[in-house]
């Protein structure tokens, strides 16, 4: 057994997966053999969920049934909604509120009985539909209550993306908004063994239940080095705008101070994140539709400078930030929206883990003191 230290498990192979493939040198992302470009432009989020969970794209009849099953699970129990209300009124951080609410969902899930086999695939698919369908309801309710408004009940006649925007704003989104948001959900649905996905796998490897695994993943995604990056990008761009400086000059000043520029660099990609390419187009389209492309133009100027001067390319967070902002989505729920999408990938990876489970148990190299002599407490 090798004693080579791999901090952060970088480059360590720990599993085989049929779900997603990333080529960081070529800038490619593939879900079950389909390029992210094709899926984002041609498939709905519901189709991608079906693909990840079942291994193939659905037929028209299968998709219609799947959409109906998901839509029927959107409502949350009153007790969960009360918890969400309490958390919103106490100014809880959105991701912490989501983590708590997701955990509570298990108390009202008919397939979450303690005696149920945690690896039962059909039971987990049923639980997965419920969790995925209810997370948007939780996020929208939390946001509205916090902002002094009452939650909007979900509707079953809207798409997953359209229903969330409806619950958030109390009005149906136009086709452009719905399509752009649906694309964003597809782009974020899975991405290999990222930190939150891996935490879900570690939890499920102990034969803990699906709700526990997803709760672990939500907690992991809440960290600023993972899911919080797009919020950091938008806060940076707003600071640039408020400074009234040229964006390039602002970045030069920031780098001179030793500050990081949010939204650049990635643990996997050595070139531009393919998801960023698609979202940059959406950001431009939204700006043109609104008659104000300043956020897009600012982003492009920063991207070009960072590429020329630092050799760094933008990641998905860089353009998802302005895309969401131009849709009127509050900045501090960007990460919960990330979770709303990525839960599909988390569940798919947990299903794979259960199918061929082995407890995930790495080792650490001990570097502490040795040969200590114990003394009784009265002699210390």
Beta-bridge mates of residue 31:
20, 34
Counting every residue written for the chain, the total comes to 380
Sign of the Cα pseudo-torsion (203, 352, 47, 158, in order): negative
Token digits of residue 372: 């200590």
Known catalytic residue: 91?
no
Looking at 188, 191, 211, 266, which residue is catalytic? 266
Looking at 226, 241, 253, 371, which residue is catalytic? 226
Q: 324: which residues sit within 8 A by CB, 6+ positions away?
A: 184, 230, 234, 331, 334, 337
**How many CA within 13 A on the CB side of residue 129?**
20
Q: Measuring CA to CA, how many Å separate 65 from each of 46, 58, 278?
A: 11, 10, 29
Sign of the Cα pseudo-torsion (269, 272, 278, 280, in order): positive
Looking at 317, 349, 356, 378, which residue is catalytic? 317
Q: Measuring CA to CA, how many Å separate 31 from each of 20, 46, 68, 329, 348?
A: 4, 14, 23, 27, 11
Known catalytic residue: 211?
no
Q: Measuring CA to CA, how many Å separate 94 from each of 186, 221, 334?
A: 22, 12, 9
Known catalytic residue: 317?
yes
The catalytic residue positions are 226, 266, 317
């Amino acid at each position: 057994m090798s004693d080579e230290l791999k901090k952060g498990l970088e480059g360590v192979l720990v599993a085989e997966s049929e779900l997603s493939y990333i080529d960081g040198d070529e800038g490619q992302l593939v879900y079950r053999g389909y390029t992210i470009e094709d899926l984002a432009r041609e498939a709905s989020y519901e189709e991608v969920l079906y693909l990840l969970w079942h291994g193939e794209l659905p037929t028209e009849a299968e998709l219609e049934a799947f959409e109906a099953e998901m839509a029927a699970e959107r409502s949350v129990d009153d007790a969960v909604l009360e918890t969400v209300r309490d958390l919103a009124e106490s100014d809880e951080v959105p991701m912490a509120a989501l983590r708590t609410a997701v955990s509570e969902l298990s108390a009202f899930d008919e397939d979450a009985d303690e005696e149920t086999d945690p690896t039962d695939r059909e039971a987990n698919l049923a639980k997965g539909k419920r969790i995925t369908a209810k997370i948007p309801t939780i996020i929208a309710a939390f946001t509205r209550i916090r902002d002094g408004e009452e939650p909007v009940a979900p509707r079953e006649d809207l798409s997953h993306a359209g229903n969330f925007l409806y619950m958030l704003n109390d009005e149906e989104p136009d086709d452009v908004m719905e399509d752009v948001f649906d694309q964003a959900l597809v782009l974020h649905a899975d991405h290999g063994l990222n930190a939150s996905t891996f935490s879900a796998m570690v939890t499920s490897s102990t034969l803990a239940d699906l709700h526990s695994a997803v709760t672990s993943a939500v907690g992991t995604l809440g960290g600023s080095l993972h899911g919080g990056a797009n919020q950091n990008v938008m806060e940076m761009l707003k600071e640039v705008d408020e400074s009234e400086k040229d964006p390039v000059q602002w970045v030069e000043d920031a780098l001179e101070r030793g500050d990081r520029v949010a939204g650049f660099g990635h643990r996997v990609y050595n070139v531009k994140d393919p998801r960023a390419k698609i979202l940059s187009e959406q950001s431009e389209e939204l700006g043109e539709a609104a008659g104000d492309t300043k956020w897009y133009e600012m982003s492009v100027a920063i991207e070009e400078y960072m590429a020329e001067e630092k050799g760094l390319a933008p990641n998905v967070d860089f353009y998802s930030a302005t895309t969401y902002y131009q849709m009127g989505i509050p900045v501090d729920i960007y990460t919960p929206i990330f979770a709303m999408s990525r839960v599909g990938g988390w569940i798919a990876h947990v299903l794979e883990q259960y199918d061929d489970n082995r407890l995930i148990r790495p080792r650490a190299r001990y570097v502490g003191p040795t040969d200590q002599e114990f003394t009784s407490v009265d002699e210390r």
